[in-house]
Structure 1
Amino acid sequence: MEDLIKKTRTYRRFQQDRLISEQTMATLIDLARLGGSARNCQPWQFMPVTDGGRCRAIFPFLAWAGYLTDWRGPEPGEQPSAYVLCLLNRSRLKGNEREAHFDLGIASQNLLLGAMAEGIGGCRIGAFSPKLADLFEMPEHLEVGLVIALGYPAESVVIEPVEGDNIRYWRDETGVHHVPKRSRTDVLVDLPWRS
């Protein structure tokens, strides 16, 4: 599990012509839906997209890699071969929306871990144009909360230690993507107990 978690990085360049089967997409959706849910509301629904034309229609509405200011996103040939649209079904909310977003974190991580177990990389994209919804006949009770881009990776992503307080990811001259992660010492906290 530790190795799988270490390999489950954010991938943004893919082998676009290498398709993901409908069966694999169905399995990934199952992994997402089986995650824990506050009050067991299960307010998230998922729409897999594997058709090339539809993937190309979604792509212009997405923003990619905010820290890589000179990069506009993957070029043709390196774009995702599939997406999962994560749709919040407001009619299923029984608690507050904040709880639903915890559920989405669990669901999306389950999906991405399952994808990486099959050699498929992914990228959670929360930066997208609201006009993305205009591609669909969207009922009022549904709204797009997250887009997950998927594909077989066409890049290497490595974990680096954080130097100082610099958490910005970068690409080196060979195109390897470096992601700084804080050390265990930096994330552990030992608060004094009140007597």
Structure 2
Amino acid sequence: MNDLIRKTRTYRRFHQDRAISRETLTELVELARLGGSARNCQPWQYQLVTDSETAAAIFPHLGWAGYLSDWRGPEQGERPSAYVLCLLNRQRLKGSDAEAQFDLGIATQNLLLGAMEQGIGGCRIGSFAPHVARLFQMPEHLELSLVIALGYPRETVVLEETDGDDIRYWRDQNSIHHVPKRKLSELIVELPRQAG
């Protein structure tokens, strides 16, 4: 599990010609389905995209990497071969939107861990144009909240500890993607108890 978690990074460049089947995406959504859910309301539904025409229609409307401002996203041949669109079903929502977003974090991490176990990388994309939802006949009670791009990775991602507050990811001259992580010692705190 430790190794799988370390390998489950955000990948943004893929072997576009390697297809991912609908059956594989269905298996990954099964893992998402099994995650915890606040009030057990399970408000998330998923649109699976495996055909290249729909994938190509989605691609231009996605934002790819906020810290890589001069990079417009993966080139032709490096684009995702599949997507999972995460749709909030407002008719099933019993708690707050925040609770639903916590559920989505759990669900998508399950999905991405399962994908990586099969050698498939992914990228959660919250920056997308409204046009993505308009590609589909979307009922009013469904709201597109997140796009997960999937494919077989075509890049190397390296984790490294940061010595300060600069947590911006970057690429070196060999196009290796570096992701700074805060040290474990900076995450664990010892808070004194309140008196009384």
After TM superposition, the score normalised by the length of structure 1 is 0.99
Task: Give 1:15's aligned amino acid.
Answer: H
Task: Give 1:29's aligned amino acid.
Answer: V
Q: CA RMSD in A?
A: 0.7
Q: Which residue of 1 aligns with 2:149?
A: 149
Measured against aligned partners, the alpha-carbon deviations of 1:122-167 in whole angstroms (never above 9, x if no partner) come to 0000000122111111100001000000000000001011131110
SS at match of 1:91: coil
Q: Which residue of 1 aligns with 2:87?
A: 87
Q: Which residue of 2 aligns with 1:163?
A: 163
Measured against aligned partners, the alpha-carbon deviations of 1:87-106 in whole angstroms (never above 9, x if no partner) come to 00000011111100000000
Output the CA distance in 1 between the equivalents of 2:63 and 2:10: 14
Long gaps (5+) in structure 1: none
After TM superposition, the score normalised by the length of structure 2 is 0.98
SS at match of 1:92: coil
1:98-113 superposed matches below 5 A: 98-113=98-113
1:1-40 superposed matches below 5 A: 1-40=1-40
Output the CA distance in 1 between the equivalents of 2:43 and 2:194: 38
Q: Which residue of 2 aligns with 1:65?
A: 65
Output the CA distance in 2 between the equivalents of 1:29 and 1:21: 13
Give the fraction of aligned pairs with identical amino acids, expressed as a percent: 69
Output the CA distance in 2 between the equivalents of 1:56 and 1:178: 27
Long gaps (5+) in structure 2: none
Q: Which residue of 1 aligns with 2:123?
A: 123
Output the CA distance in 1 between the equivalents of 2:127 and 2:190: 35
Task: Give 2:69's aligned amino acid.
Answer: T
Output the CA distance in 2 between the equivalents of 1:147 and 1:118: 20
Measured against aligned partners, the alpha-carbon deviations of 1:44-63 in whole angstroms (never above 9, x if no partner) come to 00111000000000001100
